[in-house]
Chain A
């Protein structure tokens, strides 16, 4: 420390400033590198899988037949759709309750913590739970619906948290403006609050759909390890009808696992696994893009020109 002639304490400011500028530049570089690496990692991973998949193509692999993977692709999409139909409304309702209706207090805290704990439970455990409840206790055969319900259980906590956080982040004047005009709480939530949360909630939905696309362990004992679909049968009660959710419905992710383990003696098993992986990655990317596009459209319509 120097004391200059005017008596002010001079704390070596010049050095401090120089050092803080160096640190600032350095950390800016670090953040760019980390961000860039994340993008690079995604490109490399997705790119490798897609290229490997393309290289493994052989005629007939994409067919909707017993030896192709088309049926598994259909099962995967059907399963994701079924689980979203249940998990999105339930999750959003729970999240809305926690944000708009529940009184601050011990009980609400316990509920919130329980939901967050639920979302960290291992998926194989939930899968076995699903096996117990949806297969053993009901006496049913392996079926797609049971798998969809397992994915629903895995998804609801995430959607609940996302909805709750999105609503809590909205400033209070959204609510007071609406209530001041004589709207009820529900009208305020439906017409003002939820529309304002759509982008954030859609992010949550994309994440849980990704889980649905990719789950293997949790579905092992519920959806079954095989699938027989007769595309000409539209009798919903028949166990080979594509739209009957009570039939076994092996999904793509499970198929990959099967082809690399128990099914590795099947002809073209390696190619099938590679192509299935590629289709899965592409499906997730397409779902992501489509969800974002729809969300942007809805937001634009709500906000006016």
Chain B
């Protein structure tokens, strides 16, 4: 289906929150250096699946997973996996921009410092590279020491993206990254995602079907914890195979 090899493979995966069966027998292969979108109505499990890819669900008490999720062929739930290293390779951007209450520089440098980089000039380089990668360098290069919370929502979200890029992940997970932002910031971040996919594998959860159409290469439609259909974006939206998919994308529910 695609020239790129599979980066992330989800194999017969089920997820339970205590007794609630949140994800049912999910099978999915996401190619590298492409944007895969998860769409579906509220509560369908798309964010839950996303959070399983970097094991953020480990933080939720009562969450149990069966099945396998592999990245580059290695099972990420294996006992020997260092979960902190995993989260370095698989970065995440959240729905609400959540920069730390520190300067912009300290926000972006946080990840590298945590992972052991202390050298000042090295950090300077990483901060600049990440802010450029997030398309924010020119706007903030004279204000790096200013507090990160004092800037606009769109800029805060791009600081969070720069922060995630600073630890040099392979994969970037984005959980409805523009739903709290205005249309202009949304457009800026969508353009950014299109640029980033040249170097990163991106998985994006979105409520906004037009966004999925605009930026993603492949789209998976989820409903009530099941993956109903998964195809290239063009195909899913122009010629959906499953009636539920068609109902959703034509707006009959959701």
- A203 touches B (CB below 8 Å): no
A54 CB, min distance to chain B CBs, angstroms: 44
With a CB–CB cut-off of 8 A, which chain A residues contact B87?
179-182
Decide if A103 touches B61 in the complex (CB within 8 Å).
yes
A20 CB, min distance to chain B CBs, angstroms: 36
State the interface size on chain A (CB cutoff 8 A).
Answer: 22
- B250 touches A (CB below 8 Å): no
- B59 touches A (CB below 8 Å): yes
Identify B114's interface contact among A104, A176, A187, A196, CB under 8 A. A187
Q: How long is the Cα–Cα vector from A192 to B111 in the complex, in angstroms?
A: 12
With a CB–CB cut-off of 8 A, which chain A residues contact B147?
303-305
Identify A304's interface contact among B98, B114, B145, B163, CB under 8 A. B145
- B: contact size bracket: 20 to 34
With a CB–CB cut-off of 8 A, which chain B residues contact A187?
114
With a CB–CB cut-off of 8 A, which chain A residues contact B160?
177
Q: How long is the Cα–Cα vector from A303 to B100 in the complex, in angstroms?
A: 9
Identify A182's interface contact among B61, B100, B106, B111, CB under 8 A. B111
Given A182-B115, A303-B101, are A177 and B94 neighbors across the interface (CB < 8 Å)? yes
- A174 touches B (CB below 8 Å): yes
B230 CB, min distance to chain A CBs, angstroms: 25
Q: How long is the Cα–Cα vector from A304 to B104 in the complex, in angstroms?
A: 8
Task: Name A72-110 residues within 8 Å CB distance of B.
Answer: 103-104
Decide if B102 touches A302 in the complex (CB within 8 Å).
yes
What are the 8 tightest A-B residue pairs by CB atom distance, in nearest-first order? A304-B103, A182-B88, A182-B87, A173-B98, A180-B92, A181-B111, A182-B84, A177-B98
Q: 8 new A-B pairs (CB below 8 Å) besides A184-B84, A304-B103?
A: A177-B94, A178-B110, A180-B54, A181-B110, A181-B163, A182-B87, A304-B145, A304-B147
A interface, CB within 8 angstroms of B:
103-104, 173-184, 187, 191-192, 196, 302-305
